[in-house]
Amino acid sequence: MQGIAGDKMLAHIGRVAGDHRPITADIFLTNYCNNRCPYCTYRRWDLEGGAYSMTLAEFKTYAERLRALGVLGFILTGGGEPTVAPDFPAIAGWLESQGLHYGVNTNFNELHFIKPDYLKVSLDGWDEESYEWRRGVRRYDTVRENIQRYASWKEEHSPGTSLGVQCVVESVGDVLKFYQANHGLKVDYMVFRPKESTGGKAYSGEAGKVIASSIIRAVNELAAQDPRVVLNFKWHLLGTQETSCVASWAQIALNERGEVMYCCHKPYQVIGHVLDEDILEKKAAAVTDMRTCDIPCRMTAPNAFVARLWPSVKMSASSERAPDQGTRGGESGPSEQRAEPYPLQ
């Protein structure tokens, strides 16, 4: 599996050129999470209280509607932690029974033996203390054990599943400590990611740029020794943002109640419900303030790719562009291999 390098849009050239139907669906199965990550996108917003999880019956209804809208693959993510939704095992089983492509982004505090296209675990630590600092709970050893048990199981039962771990890093020390502690895990890839921040503030200053450059060098040095090590493509897009976004058509994001959000990073901007007859028209017409966007996000590379090759292609409208950001930002850098497929096909 590949990551969200912009050139993956070539696999769906018809959608880019004019058939603007969604390619992937990001689905929040629940708004509850069993971790408390301080940097989490979804902890920054004061959303409606009260835990709610999508049922299997609701998921089937929404999934069939999404397929009719053109969706080719599903990403179970959050929002909340998808694996704690009571119907998660049944939902995964149904997707598999239908032969549908799906991936799972998870903290893997709960072990499930499932057969997705990819299973990406946010490990984010190298011992119980670092894990608690980053994720708010002491579950590092449990997650490592879950990964190893799943890896052994998938060798026989789901060899096609791409299993990986990722870590959000803030220094070279984070990179080295994470790798040293976790390189023995039986995973297919280890991804090192930057922090996502509103307007790209985390790396906007000179000090941030120096830190980012040193992290990139450290990860590349590890990758030269261990092919499983992956530099997330976002490191090469830290100062990049287009004036508009393909999220208005390439992606459709549902919360746990089936409401369609502007994108997976803007759960506070609901534009309709997936069962609305005119939901694609509502998506196409939706306007967002791109000054509030996370930079870089998973759509940054597709945005740059589409804008570079097809400048006349309509993306979403935006009320403002983010200040102090380049319009194109150069090349997207190396692809992130085998992680978070986009499009998932």
pLDDT in tens, 278-325: 999 999 999 888 878 877 788 877 777 777 776 655 555 555 433 332
More confident residue, 173 or 322: 173
Q: 291 lies in a domain? A: yes
Q: 326 lies in a domain? A: no
Domains identified in the chain, total number: 1
Average pLDDT of the chain, as a whole number: 83
CA dist 14 and 21 (Å) reads 10
How does pLDDT run across 4-33, given as a tens digit for each residue? 455 566 667 677 767 778 999 999 999 988
Q: 10 lies in a domain? A: yes
Range of the domain at 100: 6-320
How does pLDDT run across 92-113, given as a tens digit for each residue? 999 999 999 999 999 999 999 9
Q: 329 lies in a domain? A: no
Q: Is 199 left (phi over 0), alpha (psi -120 to 50) or beta?
A: left
Q: 333 lies in a domain? A: no
Q: 328 lies in a domain? A: no
User: Please, which pLDDT band fits residue 338 given cuts at 50, 70 and 90?
Assistant: very low
Domain CATH for 198: 3.20.20.70
Q: 134 lies in a domain? A: yes
CA dist 202 and 328 (Å) reads 19
Q: What is the 3-state secondary structure (H, E, C) of the chain?
A: CECCCHHHHHHHHHHHHCCCCCCEEEEECECCCCCCCCCCHHHCCCCCCCCCECCHHHHHHHHHHHHHHCCCEEEEECCCCHHHCCCHHHHHHHHHHCCCEEEEEECCCCCCCCCCCEEEEECCCCCHHHHHHHHCCCCHHHHHHHHHHHHHHHHHHCCCCEEEEEEECCCHHHHHHHHHHHCCCCCCEEEEECCCEECCHHHCCHHHHHHHHHHHHHHHHHHHHCCCEEECHHHHHCCECCCCCHHHCCEEEECCCCEEECCCCCCCCEEEECCCCCHHHHHHHCEEEHHHCEECCCCHHHHHHHHHHCCCCCCCEEEECCCCCECCCCCCCCCCECCCCCCCC
Q: Is the pLDDT of residue 58 over 80?
A: yes
User: Please, which pLDDT band fits residue 38 given cuts at 50, 70 and 90?
Assistant: confident
- Sheet hosting strand 189-193, strand order edge to edge: 229-231, 189-193, 162-168, 118-122, 101-106, 73-77, 24-28, 251-254, 259-261, 270-273
pLDDT, position 291: 79
- Tokens representing 6 are 């912009």
Q: 38 lies in a domain? A: yes
pLDDT, position 312: 56
Q: Is the pLDDT of residue 39 over 80?
A: no
User: Please, which pLDDT band fits residue 210 given cuts at 50, 70 and 90?
Assistant: very high
Other beta carbons within 10 Å of 51: 12
